Amino acid sequence: QITLKESGPTLVKPTQTLTLTCTFSGFSFTTGEVGVGWIRQPPGKALEWLALIYWSDDKHYNPSLKNRVTIAKDTSKNQVVLTLTNMDPVDTATYYCAHRREKTYFFDLWGQGTLVTVSS
């Protein structure tokens, strides 16, 4: 059974750097074209994809955020970390990590999400 869970701060100040951790279980991040992605959703708004990392360490970023976002994995801990610099109130959102099914183009399982508020 695949599970993912996001963790990190619930409140950050403008200009600070956000670091979120996705801890997963039930799948191996060492074989195949498995991927873990981050998606966010501002309150009352649509989903926005942020980044994705493959088992091979290949990484992809949303072009609109490319200079601010970084994704990394720690295979030994079954974790994927998202970093978003220079936070702004418009970055207030629920942040989800999700499992990208092997050799596909969609996210089949999602974490519960974590709400991050940016405010001074």
Partner 1 sequence: DVQLTQSPPFLSASVGDRVTITCRASQGIARYLVWYQQKPGKAPKLLIYGASTLESGVPSRFSGSGSGTEFTLTISSLQPEDFATYYCQYLNNDPYMYTFGQGTKLEIK
Please report whether residue 27 would count as binding partner 1 according to CB under 8 A: no
Which one among 16, 32, 48, 85 touches partner 1, defined by CB under 8 A?
48
Query: 114 to each of 25, 50, 76, 96, 107, how far by Cα in Å?
Result: 18, 15, 23, 7, 17
Distance CA 11, CA 18 (A): 9
Nearer to partner 1, 8 or 16 (CB): 8
Exposed (0-12), middle (13-18) or buried (19+): which is 46, by Cβ within 10 Å?
Answer: exposed
Nearer to partner 1, 52 or 118 (CB): 52
Nearer to partner 1, 18 or 39 (CB): 39
Q: In the complex, which residues of this chain contact partner 1 (CB under 8 A)? A: 37, 39, 46-49, 52, 60, 62-63, 96, 98, 104-113
